[in-house]
Structure 1
């Protein structure tokens, strides 16, 4: 793949780091902080990030399994989060080549519709199954998740960054 001018060459992602970050995001989601409608879904954010950057390692199956974990934890309709996460992962993998050509702030705008769609899927399933409407605060969650995209990108790509100054031991 041809790189954009000024784009930094990254080391391969360590699979242990990928799965550790997914498990850490799951732990953040299951912390007993209380579930508010505007609260961002950190696990969905990390699933989308790794589906974009490592689609061979984190795919629709992994997203579905993490969604089932969230369904069990929140005592939600079984498959509600799983369907939303699987759809998120599918659409993230679909746009991952195009998305990586944009700068990180532009990527945040590009993934906003994905997060809106995921929350719409969860809300539709909740309403169909007889749940109550959580309020208009649910509209803030996808916006907050897309605003967190640059921060998550910096944190999760940090172990892959190469040293910027070459010397005789690091020619690239």
Structure 2
């Protein structure tokens, strides 16, 4: 595991950039509704794996970046990522004990919490909210988590060597 290793900030920024690109790539409407949340998954991966370098404030700042790109009100992604990151911080030691595929299952409530905060803020702001399709990215993110986390971990291990 890469928890006890110092990972360069450039690698973290690179992986966040890749996650952001995967999030922003245009896709057909049928696929876009089920697109995994790569960027939040990347942010939460680094919160989990680099606790001394990537915490709540950094997760909030990453969410603000998404808010600026999407033009969303009230810093909704910043708040949602900060709340999800807090949940990961609280579950961190439990998550470290499990393999990646089980981590994905254990992170399901965290991804639900992330989407719920977005859903709630959109509702309060009066934005049009599609209640059923909003939850589909949770399932795809949980399914993609083991592969995505494996790739991120291998990239970090290559740098450590």
Bin of the TM-score, shorter chain as denominator length: 0.7 to 0.9
Aligned mates of 2:152, 2:125 — CA distance in 1: 36
1:42–1:145: 8 Å Cα contact kept in structure 2? yes
Equivalent residue for 2:13? 19
Q: Aligned partners of 1:33 and 1:76: how far apart in 2? A: 20
CA contact (8 A) 1:37 1:141 kept: yes
1:147 CA displacement: 0.8
Tell me which residue corresponds to 2:116.
120
- CA distance in 1 between partners of 2:10 and 2:2 (Å): 22
> Offset of 1:11 from its aligned partner?
5.5
RMSD (CA atoms): 2.4
Structure 1, gaps ≥5 residues long? 1-6, 163-172
TM-score, normalised by the number of residues in structure 1 = 0.81
Cα deviation digits, residues 59-85 of structure 1 (max 9, x gap)? 111111111111121121131100001
Q: Report if aligned partners of 1:40, 1:145 keep a CA contact under 8 Å in 2.
A: yes
The alignment status of 1:30 with 2:28, answered yes or no, reads no
Q: Does the alignment pair 1:63 with 2:59? A: yes
* Count of residues in Structure 1 that have an aligned counterpart in Structure 2: 157
Deviations 1:18-66 (A, max 9, x none): 2211122123223344774432221100011111111111111111111
Q: Which has the larger radius of gyration?
A: 1
